[in-house]
Structure 1
Amino acid sequence: MTALSQAMLALRSGQCEAALVGGSTLTLNPIAALNLYRLGMLSPDGKCKAFDADGKGYVRSETVGVFFLQRISQARRIYAKLAHVKANADGFKDEGVTFPSGRAQEALLRDVYEEARVDPRTVSYVEAHGTGTKAGDPQELSAISNVFCGEGRKEPLLIGSVKSNMGHSEAAAGICSLAKVILSMETGTIPGNLHFNEPNPGIPSLNDGSIRVVDRHTPFLGGLVGVNSIGFGGANVHAILEANPGHHVDSFPREKPQLPRLVLLAGRTKESLTATLDRLEADGPLPDPAYALLNRVGQPSVNQFPFRGYSVVAVNGSRKPIKAVEHAPTEKRHLWFVFTGIGCQWNGMARQMMQFDVFANSIRRSHELLVPFGIDLVDLITSDN
């Protein structure tokens, strides 16, 4: 989130035209986990119970994520509008560098909304840092309550923390919070917090009803959303996001041909792979990125996943999917080159390719050039004659 703040400053000051904002955390070193546990920051039962009376720490998780920031006037695909983002730091305090200061967080929140000229009482949802720690949750929600739940607020403020669902990815946690909010805007649903059973008695705003934890899937009704992030060394960041109200702009605005999709998968056993292909058939057509991801993960080592399978799925459900599963040989296969000797032409050979605009437009341009010579190129490559 600190990187997001710096990117926003660079865009506003004209230092760059666009920015990639990323974060990553890989939990490769067990010593780090041991030290965090000794500090009392990790949950002893492996659950992050954000805002709950039984919250005793967080669970570590891994994340690699990147966002692309661009001015709205130049953007082709707008997921959300970043209205404002700001950071401050409170590392020097009597309680120690790791203590989350509610005073500093409250000061930051007031600055962010004052600079953005937004009344915080109009914010519909706040994605909180919400680590489930004894000190962190009360300090954070005290600041949020003081700023968002002032006199005149009509409805309880909805809050949540993605850490209850997937754990705390530490340096990359802000990336996960942003992704959750944007996906909530895209799908129209805020996913429910897990492990929330009883409000933390040390958080008055939870017990008096001015703040309500989204503990079940809840419709996202639009409006502004705040995203809160608190760093281990005293950094605090808050961002204001607004859903994209317009239609998304397709980079290739054309009607997509309803062609069958080939899905390649691998499995340890024939039964598990067949079951996966059956589930794919039962789930029906998937979005385009889903097919690309399936094919990407379906190519592991033959030694680990010795069975290979495929399914040809009709995206419009016009015909029953074709599927097959076989044991893949471990030895390296011979490479063969096959030449027909008579070229590769057949009747109607380009009929299906004409469904693609790029191909069809190119053929039509060539067709117009050949018309004066009495050659009908379109008929030549699409006709059964």
Structure 2
Amino acid sequence: LCGITKVLLSSLSGVLPPNLHFETPNPELIPILDGRIKIVTEFSADQRPQNSFPEAIPKVLFASGRTPDAVRIYLEKALKFSEDPDALSLLHEIVKTEIPRHSFCGFAISRDGKPIVQVEEKNLRNSIWFMYTGLGSQWIGMSKDMMKFEAFQKSIYISIEIMKNNGFDLKSILDTDNLELLNDLKNALVSITSIQVALTDLLATLSIRPDGIIGHSNGESACAYADKCLTQEQTLLVALSKARGFLEADLNPATLASIGMSLKELEPRCPADIYPAIHNTENNITVAGPFDSIRT
């Protein structure tokens, strides 16, 4: 019973209760004197005294980071708290869940005042995704700075020739400083698509291949190009045909508006002639309806 009590007290407090009538340890027992070894004396089941010599349990710390130095410096600083159980518990909580994009991991062991720190590189590969935007991402001079790259420039010139053969002056749209001209639906869709195609061609010359492709609205056409489903000419003509379809259709004037609300919040507020058209995110819905109703 005494032995069980002593073990429970030790586990709860982290301190071994002292032995009775022990005054002067043997000076030759250096590991005991410097604290490397502790003595536990108990009675066995048949009431015989038993001694054990448990050594100090080493403290282990873990860390991860973007660079080897980040992991090493973290562990070296964390070792200063290796004797503080509360600090150790907090440090262990940090690494319970893997932190994304940390390419290096390491551990440190503190024992007998001689810390061991080791850092290893994970075998990680960051995924690459191409994301193609839709209408509204156009801006004045968006091709200008990229024309110094040969692959980009070559792709743009090919697009200019393709569109020239289809009665569309792409060069003047890309070179314009007239925002109103650029924002015309047909001009915007074709110019955005030509830029997306050129960027895709540039990345291909750098041997950058995507693990995934995402396109929003008109950007879906560029997705098809990146996935080699469409040729450059087909991709541009899809954008042109889409714009012509909108502009030449005999429809009542209508427009879209992006609203920062959830579908549940938005639906009760929509007038009869305005309806949710695109569920962009949990808290963003695009509505469609007559131009005058949307504007007011």
TM-score using structure 2 length: 0.23
Which structure would you say has the larger Rg?
Answer: 2
RCO greater where, 1 or 2, for CA within 8 Å and sep 6 or more? 1
